Amino acid sequence: DTAVSQTPKYLVTQMGNDKSIKCEQNLGHDTMYWYKQDSKKFLKIMFSYNNKELIINETVPNRFSPKSPDKAHLNLHINSLELGDSAVYFCASSQVPGQGSHEQYFGPGTRLTVT
């Protein structure tokens, strides 16, 4: 059973297009995240959602918008894709800190290439 799953695994698209990446977790966690990992492997948080409310929104362009239809899903929509958006995007989930768990569980990543 996959704990955190993402689709698609690979995404190749042209500049200016709009795309979405889907994420689902079956761990019953309350918080989900999106991270961007660039070519130097630096993992940087983009968003997190706790019970369908955005609680962190780092300085990412507003072309990126997270959408959470329910606690188990957090999708990432990207408008007007740019070359610099090429990276690996990871979804993750965790329990709310203070409820016994501080670790995050990561999905397998979506490798986005913008041409």
Stretch that binds another protein, among 17-25, 47-55, 59-67, 78-86 (CB under 8 A): 47-55
Q: Which is nearer to another protein, 44 or 52 (CB)?
A: 44
Identify the residue among 8, 16, 61, 97 touching another protein (CB under 8 A).
97
Identify the residue among 2, 12, 43, 99 touching another protein (CB under 8 A).
43
- Using CA atoms, how far residue 51 sits from 38, 44, 74, 109, in Å, is 28, 22, 11, 22
